Amino acid sequence: MLREVPLFGALAPSLLLYFLAALLVFVIVDRLVTRLGGYRLLWHPSLARFGLFLCLFSALVLAT
């Protein structure tokens, strides 16, 4: 995990960048699952979506 990233001369927290990247991936995956109807099988779709985002976010942080 990187600590801080210089962005136009200012140091931005790397978590923010990870967050944005994870958001991008999440939007794609979310669209896909919605189209395939995956959320219909679940009890609490919003909880599942939250969990999915959390997984993507942590995976991205841990992978780099």
Partner 1 sequence: MEGNLERTAKIAQVGGPAPGLAPAKIQQGRDVRRPVSAQIKQRKAPRPSTGVDLAKPLLGPPWIPWIFAAKTTASALIALWIAFAFNLDQPKWTLLTVFIVAQPQSGLVLAKSFYRIIGTLVGAAAALLLVSLFAQERVLFLGTLAVWIGLCTFASKLARNFTAYGFVLAGYTVAIVGIPGALDPGNAFFIAQARVTEISLGIMTTAAISHLVLPMSLAQSLRRAVASSRTELADAAVALLEGRAAAALWTKLLGQVIAIENLRASAVFEDRDIRDRSDVIRRLGVAMLGVIDVAQLLGRSADWLRACPAVPVPGLTEALRTAADAIGLWRDGKLDAAGLRHSFVRASADLPLVRALCRESFVPDEDVIRGAAAIGYPRDFFGAFAAFAEAHEALLSPQPQPVRPARFAVSNDRVGAAWAGLRAALALLVAGTFWILTNWPSGVTATILAAVATARLATMEGGSEAATKAAFLFALSTFPAFIVVEVLLPDASGFAMFCLVVAPVLFFCAWLMAHTKTAGLGFLAGLYFASVAMFQDRMAYDPVGLIGTSLAATFAVALTAVLFAIIAPDTPEAARRRFVKAMRRAFEGIAGRPQVGPTEFVTSTVEALDELRRSLPPDRGQDVAAVDSGFALLGAGRELIRVRDQGRSRRADAGLADDIACFLASNERQPLDRAVSAAREASVKRLAEVRDDGLGVADARAAGLEMVAFAAVADELERCRELLFDHKLQGAPIHVA
Measured from the CB of residue 59, what is the shortest distance to partner 1 in angstroms?
19
**Which of the stretches 21-29, 36-44, 55-63 binds partner 1 when contact is defined by CB under 8 A?**
36-44
Measured from the CB of residue 46, what is the shortest distance to partner 1 in angstroms?
5
Contacts of residue 16, defined as CB under 8 A and 6 or more positions apart, other chains included, come to none
**Helical pair 14-36 and 45-63, crossing angle rounded to 10 deg:** 140
Measured from the CB of residue 14, what is the shortest distance to partner 1 in angstroms?
13
What backbone phi and psi angles, to 5 degrees, belong to 4? -135, 145
**Which of the stretches 23-31, 42-50, 55-63 binds partner 1 when contact is defined by CB under 8 A?**
42-50
